[in-house]
């Protein structure tokens, strides 16, 4: 039987392919889309629609609570590889949209003059075209009229380009392009039109009946005698199903595209269907950092050269003071480290000197093990000799306890301690004798003339049995 499953080379190739896919996915830009503050129901729904536009390179189920600050979001975005923030907020007068680049900025602040939700755009269309397969790949970004109108316009174009992954026009797979995001800049009003479309490719050069046959939904031919009637006249088809195509949307396909009749090197029409949301934006200001920093551009506030120089001088002074504080702090840390090192060396030198001089405060190492064992044996023999004296009443021989005999007091008048000890021993022996004598008398009284008896009850003596 053949070997089941994948071989070792297949598994290795599969693992390498997965690793390359993960690296490519991590290299693409990712984003967080959320609303801040009391935005209202409409603005929060607009943030959800923007997440739909940014899929799949965004956090679809992101939840930002009221207690979460912008710093918390930035701290979470770093490990996850998030590169952009799209933040919506609302004030009493306007709605604002902020586009932030992480981790160092800049931050672009737009004012939303008009907006339309996805549900409103879809409900206004006669036939909308939107399904889940369109959101498996990032949309194709199209920028229009971003010409040489200033550095702020160029910066806007760069920010929008970095918001989506770059494509190689020579290697791109046309089947991955299902959506299109159009951003048009109007130099007169300085507004941006934000539009989101669905892309559909259909073959051209065929009659309306043939186009209907190529569609997934087959037409109703119950009233026709032959299929030739459908191909010749297009009977049963409405005029609205035949959308006008022209030179503006007809092109030759460089590769085969998913769909019936879309072959390579054949003429096909590219049709766009708006799926929302729709916004009209106006740039307000550009900041250097993430939500803070120097204002690089402002639409309404214009400063003179002297004011800019004063602001720059104040900024430099602030940076100089900050550097001075950091230097002072570094010197303090170094000084404290040197003091701790000197104190440690001084303490070690004192310890070595005390050990060399034999300081009395040093810990007593104790007696050697041999001396301790000898002292213990002497104490044991002394106790045994004392027990012998109490039991026999005589002094033991020197051969029985040699160590105790050496430590015994020389012959002569005993000392006060020895005399007191002997008196206590004598009194103890007298008490023991008296107690033994008293117990013997009590036992004799209990026996009586009739011999030994057994007690029962509460100490009452049972009378002896009579002889038969």
Predicted confidence at residue 379, as pLDDT, reads 75
Backbone phi and psi for residue 89, each to the nearest 5 degrees, phi listed first: -145, 160
Return the DSSP state at 465. Answer: P
Taking the CA atoms of residue 75, residue 79, residue 82 and residue 85 in that order, the dihedral angle to the nearest 10 degrees is: -10
Residues 50, 34: Cα–Cα separation, whole Å: 9
Q: What percent of the chain has pLDDT over 90?
A: 37
How confident is residue 239, by pLDDT bands cut at 50, 70 and 90? Answer: very low
Alpha helices in 28-61 (DSSP H): 41-54
pLDDT of residue 109: 96
Write down the mean pLDDT value for the chain: 81
Report the distance separating Cα 233 and Cα 214, nearest Å.
16
Q: How far apart are CA 29 and CA 141, in angstroms?
A: 14
Q: What is the pLDDT of residue 451?
A: 52
- pLDDT tier, 404 (very low <50, low <70, confident <90, very high otherwise): low
Angle made by CA atoms 83, 84, 88, in degrees to the nearest 5? 160
pLDDT band (50, 70, 90) for residue 236: very low
Count of helix runs (H) and strand runs (E) in the chain: 11, 13
Task: Please state the rounded mean pLDDT for residues 244-264.
Answer: 79
Question: In the structure encoding, which two tokens stand for residue 171, read together?
Answer: 């290697």
| Mean local confidence (pLDDT), 52-62 | 93
Q: Which residue has the higher pLDDT, 436 or 331?
A: 331
User: pLDDT higher for 29 or 358?
Assistant: 29
- Which range scores top for mean pLDDT: 80-84, 209-213, 358-362, 419-423? 80-84
Supply the pLDDT for residue 240.
35
Distance CA 143, CA 154 (A): 11
407-458 tens-digit pLDDT: 555 555 555 566 667 777 777 676 777 777 777 766 666 665 555 554 444 5
- Tell me what pLDDT residue 218 has: 62
The backbone torsions φ and ψ at residue 34, rounded to the nearest 5 degrees and listed phi first, read -155, 165
Average pLDDT on 297-314 reads: 86
Report pLDDT for 227: 66
Q: pLDDT of 125-174, one tens digit each?
A: 887 788 888 999 999 999 999 988 888 999 999 999 999 999 888 889 99
Give CA–CA dist 186/106, Å, rounded: 23
Q: Torsions phi, psi of 279, nearest 5?
A: -140, 155
Q: Which of 302-316, 341-355, 391-405, 410-424 has the lowest mean pLDDT?
A: 410-424
In this prediction, residue 177 has a pLDDT band, given cuts at 50, 70 and 90, of: very high
Confidence of residue 303 (pLDDT cuts 50, 70, 90): confident
99 pLDDT more than 80: yes
Looking at residue 247, its pLDDT comes to 72
Q: What is the mean pLDDT of residues 391-410?
A: 67
**Who wins on pLDDT, 393 or 181?**
181
Q: What is the mean pLDDT of residues 49-74?
A: 92
Q: Which two tokens stand for residue 129?
A: 């075209």
pLDDT value at residue 323: 94
Q: Is 107 exposed, middle or buried (0-12, 13-18, 19+ CB in 10 A)?
A: buried
pLDDT at 309: 86
Q: Find the length of the chain.
A: 468
Q: What is the predicted pLDDT for the residue at 199?
A: 92
Cβ atoms within 10 A of the Cβ of 52, count? 19
pLDDT, residue 57, reads: 93
Summarize the confidence of residues 267-286 as an average pLDDT: 92
Q: 84: which strand partners?
A: 31, 101
For the segment 398-410, the average pLDDT, to the nearest whole number, is 62
Taking residues 371-390, what's their average pLDDT?
72
Cβ distance 90 to 96 under 8 Å?
A: yes
> Of all residues in the chain, what percent are helix, strand and coil, respectively (each to 5)?
45, 20, 40
């Amino acid at each position: 039987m053949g070997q089941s499953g994948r071989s070792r080379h297949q598994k290795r190739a599969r693992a390498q392919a997965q690793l390359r896919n993960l690296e490519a996915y991590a290299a693409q830009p990712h984003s967080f889309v959320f609303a801040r503050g009391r935005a209202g129901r409409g603005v929060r729904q607009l943030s959800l629609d923007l997440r739909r536009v940014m899929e799949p390179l965004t956090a679809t189920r992101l939840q930002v609570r009221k207690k979460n600050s912008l710093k918390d979001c930035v701290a979470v975005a770093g490990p996850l590889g998030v590169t952009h923030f799209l933040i919506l907020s609302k004030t009493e007068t306007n709605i604002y949209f902020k586009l932030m680049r992480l981790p160092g900025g800049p931050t672009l602040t737009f004012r939303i003059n008009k907006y339309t939700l996805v549900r409103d755009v879809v409900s206004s269309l006669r036939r909308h075209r939107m399904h889940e397969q369109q959101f498996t790949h990032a949309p194709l970004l199209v920028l229009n009229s971003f010409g040489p109108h200033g550095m702020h316009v160029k910066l806007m174009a760069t920010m929008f380009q970095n918001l989506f992954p770059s494509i190689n026009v020579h290697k791109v797979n046309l089947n991955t392009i299902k959506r299109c995001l159009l951003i048009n800049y109007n130099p007169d009003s300085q507004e941006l039109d934000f539009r989101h479309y669905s892309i559909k490719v259909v073959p051209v050069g065929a009659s309306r009946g043939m186009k209907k046959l190529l569609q997934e939904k087959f037409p109703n031919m119950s009233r026709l005698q032959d299929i030739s009637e459908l191909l010749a006249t297009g009977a049963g088809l409405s005029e609205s199903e035949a959308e006008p195509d022209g030179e503006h949307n007809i092109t030759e396909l460089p590769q085969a595209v998913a769909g019936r009749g879309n072959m390579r090197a054949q003429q096909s029409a590219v049709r766009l269907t708006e799926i929302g949301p729709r916004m009209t934006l106006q740039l307000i200001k550009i900041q250097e950092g993430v939500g803070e920093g120097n204002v690089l551009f402002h639409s309404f506030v214009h400063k003179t050269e002297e004011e800019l120089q004063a602001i720059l001088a104040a900024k430099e002074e602030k940076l100089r003071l900050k550097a001075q504080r950091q230097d002072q702090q570094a010197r303090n840390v170094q000084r404290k480290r040197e003091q701790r090192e000197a104190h440690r060396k001084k303490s070690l030198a004192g310890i070595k000197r005390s050990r060399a001089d034999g300081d009395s405060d040093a810990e007593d190492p104790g007696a050697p093990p041999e001396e301790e064992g000898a002292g213990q044996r002497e104490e044991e023999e002394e106790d045994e000799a004392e027990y012998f004296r109490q039991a026999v009443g005589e002094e033991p021989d020197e051969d029985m306890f040699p160590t105790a005999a050496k430590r015994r007091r020389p012959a002569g008048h005993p000392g006060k301690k020895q005399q007191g000890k002997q008196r206590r021993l004598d009194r103890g022996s007298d008490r023991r004798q008296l107690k033994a004598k008293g117990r013997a008398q009590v036992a004799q009284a209990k026996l009586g003339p009739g011999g030994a008896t057994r007690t029962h009850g509460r100490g009452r003596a049972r009378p002896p049995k009579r002889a038969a």
